Amino acid sequence: MKGLIYNYSSIRKEMLKDVVRTKTYQNVIYQNTFLFKNKVVLDVGAGTGILSFFCAKAGAKHVYAIECSHMADMAKEIVQANGFSNVITVLKGKVEEIELPVTCIDVIISEWMGYFLLFENMLNTVLYARDKWLINDGIVLPDKASLYLTAIEDAEYKEDKIEFWNDVYGFDMSCIRKQAMMEPLVDTVDQNQIVTNCQLLKTMNISKMAPGDASFTAPFKLVAERNDYIHALVAYFDVSFTKCHKMMGFSTGPRSKATHWKQTVLYLEDVLTICEGEALVGSMTVEPNKKNPRDVDIMLKYSLNGQHCQVSRTQHYKMR
């Protein structure tokens, strides 16, 4: 989604106007200039170059801004227009293919997160840059990302997005329903819809992890906090910058201020009738699609052995 429209200015504006996102990076950089003073910085996927500008202002010795889309040409112009040509070098191309004029980097900064954290698989590009250029005690910003899961009541939307296909002006189009069920929906969830606790699925340490660590199976136990119905599971992520003087970061969860990432909704085949205190238990398996590694395959196994509802199922989803 994000990738297909990277070249258009609308998504640029949407990202830059995402205040939670952009302000967090700005605060991280401006309030922790000790991380940047006289350092050589690499901006992985620089876009307009906004993060490079923050780093340059914070006193970086030099910033290399790599960007593969046509936005790189704009970034070059913006660097000139703002008088940063001596500090920021924009390099147009893929991180995986570019030759850097230096062999070592002190700091890597990147805003690589996709929907459901991992959609588009730009994390691998950051890890590639880390392993190729980052000095031993160099830092990666952000350096921690976590994925969470919760369950929601969502009768109205499920009806509108999924069950709609069962009877379209009197015709059975349920083959489309099947497909719609497999597509995680990126949308904002009202916190009042949350029925259970929020479960941490996986934390990734961007400074240390191997590319393969982005594929995983994680167990979950979601305990109902009230009597309600569950129509979907909802995934979201947070990122942190643990190398700051004071820990900083942001969350894309339904209880936090909305971001352009929204949340990711996975509809369940059946409506679950759950009583307060009962647990929906299972596991989620996440891995890049074998044919197209920018897509994400998700497998959900879950069961509820409740007073009013007994269900055990496996469902497959594809983000593309």
- Residues that bind ligand SAH (rule: CB under 6 A) add up to a total of 20
CB atoms within 10 A of CB 253: 20
| Residue 194, both tokens | 């949350």
CB of residue 104 vs ligand SAH: minimum separation in angstroms? 19
Treating both helix axes as pointing N-terminal to C-terminal, what angle do 9-17 and 19-30 enclose, rounded to 10 degrees?
60
CA angle 202, 208, 213 (to 5 degrees): 45
45/184 with CB nearer ligand SAH: 45
- The binding track of 118-157 with respect to ligand SAH, each residue x by CB under 6 A or -, is ----x--x--------------------------------
Is there binding between residue 71 and ligand SAH (CB under 6 A)? yes
> Does residue 142 have a cis bond before it (omega within 30 degrees)?
yes
45/138 with CB nearer ligand SAH: 45
Phi-psi region for residue 83, left (φ > 0), alpha (ψ -120 to 50) or beta? left
CA–CA dist 114, 3 (Å, integer): 9
| Phi, psi torsion values for 110, nearest 5 degrees | -160, 145
Near ligand SAH by CB under 6 A, which window of 73-81, 90-98, 224-232, 268-276?
A: 90-98
51/181 with CB nearer ligand SAH: 51
Is residue 57 exposed (0-12), middle (13-18) or buried (19+ Cβ within 10 Å)?
middle
6/216 with CB nearer ligand SAH: 6
123/304 with CB nearer ligand SAH: 123
Side chain identity at 220, as an amino acid letter?
A: F
75/300 with CB nearer ligand SAH: 75
CA–CA dist 70, 165 (Å, integer): 39
Among 17, 23, 37, 94, binds ligand SAH (CB under 6 A): 94
* Residue nearest ligand SAH, Cβ-based: 45
CB of residue 37 vs ligand SAH: minimum separation in angstroms? 21
Is there binding between residue 42 and ligand SAH (CB under 6 A)? no
Among 29, 46, 222, 268, binds ligand SAH (CB under 6 A): 46
Rounded to an integer, what is the distance from CA 240 to the centroid of its chain?
12
Near ligand SAH by CB under 6 A, which window of 62-70, 174-182, 223-231, 311-319?
A: 62-70
By C-alpha distance, which of 123, 184, 110, 117 is closest to 148? Answer: 117
16/281 with CB nearer ligand SAH: 16
Near ligand SAH by CB under 6 A, which window of 65-73, 204-212, 228-236, 311-319?
A: 65-73
Near ligand SAH by CB under 6 A, which window of 93-101, 168-176, 200-208, 218-226?
A: 93-101
Task: HSE, CB side, 13 Å, CA atoms: give it for residue 71.
Answer: 22
Q: Are 166 and 150 in contact (CB under 8 A)?
A: no
Active site residues: 111, 120
From the CA atom positions of the chain, what is the Rg in Å?
21
Among 6, 164, 216, 229, binds ligand SAH (CB under 6 A): 6
Among 29, 32, 41, 67, binds ligand SAH (CB under 6 A): 67
SS3 140: strand
Length of the chain measured in residues:
320
Binding site for ligand SAH (CB under 6 A): 6, 15-16, 45-48, 50-51, 66-69, 71, 94-96, 111, 122, 125
